[in-house]
Structure formats: C-alpha cells, structure tokens
C-alpha cells in the first residue's frame, strides 16, 4: 500500500474545550495511501542536523513508483527541508495539493 508522508499536521486550540486539535481534516488524503506524519504538530525548528537525520530515517522507504506521496503541511521550512532530503535519494517524487474547487487532494509528479 502506498504511503502519504505528511510533513506536519497544523493544530489549533479548540475554543470550547481548550484541547489542541488538528486545524484541517487530512482524511481525504487517504485516497492516496496510508498517512504517516513525519514531524510532531508543535515541533519548531531546532538543530537542522537532527532534522535532516530524522528525515533520512523516515523517508528511507519512500518509493514514488509504488505510489508514495508527500503532503507538505505545517512549518514551511520543515517542508522545504523534506523536499531537499527527498531529492538527494530520488529522481522523482509526488506531491499532494488541496484543490478548493474539486474539494480533494490532487497529485503532482516531480521528475528531474
């Protein structure tokens, strides 16, 4: 089964319960595979060497030919570094982007 690697799920505090909850519903991405989150929701930018090491471990089995995709959400720096690390080991990858008109995620292939 393909995997959807989500860089980070944005969160916010619920006004009524004060609980920290996801800011968006990413369940429509299940259409493209099993969802796996790369970084915790509230993680900030720390030691870049540690972040790169985590990415290498978590993206080790990424395989575009089996249908794996990246869903870039959350901190844009974490997304940018994710794509940088991914491109070190892959000549192609796929990215999901929300289409407001279609109300679903659309897949874009990147090859270089």
Q: What pLDDT, in 10s, does the model give residues 38-89? A: 987 866 677 788 889 989 999 999 999 999 999 999 999 999 999 999 998 8
Tokens found for residue 62: 């990424």
SS3 37: strand
Tokens found for residue 103: 């109300």
pLDDT at 43: 66
> What's the half-sphere exposure (Cβ side, CA atoms, 13 Å) at 73?
27
Sequence-separated (6 or more) residues with CB below 8 Å from residue 67:
2, 32, 33, 94
State the average pLDDT over residues 87-98.
93
- pTM here is 0.90
State the average pLDDT over residues 26-48.
87
Answer whether residue 104 shows pLDDT above 90.
Answer: yes
* Residue closest to 88 by CA, chosen among 56, 65, 43, 44: 56
State the average pLDDT over residues 13-33.
92
Query: What is the pLDDT of the chain when averaged over all its residues?
Result: 91
Domain boundaries, the chain: 3-111
* Residues 30 and 104: beta-carbon distance below 8 Å: no
């Amino acid at each position: 089964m393909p995997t959807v690697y989500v860089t980070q799920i944005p969160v916010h505090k619920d006004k009524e319960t004060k609980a920290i909850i996801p800011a968006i519903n990413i369940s429509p991405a299940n259409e493209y595979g099993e969802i796996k989150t790369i970084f915790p929701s509230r993680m900030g930018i720390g030691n870049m060497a540690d972040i790169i090491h985590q990415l290498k471990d978590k993206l080790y089995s990424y395989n575009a030919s089996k249908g794996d995709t990246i869903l870039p959400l959350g901190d844009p720096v974490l997304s940018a570094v994710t794509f940088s690390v991914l491109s070190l080991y892959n000549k192609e990858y796929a990215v999901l982007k929300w289409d407001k008109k279609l109300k679903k995620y659309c897949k874009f292939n990147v090859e270089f």
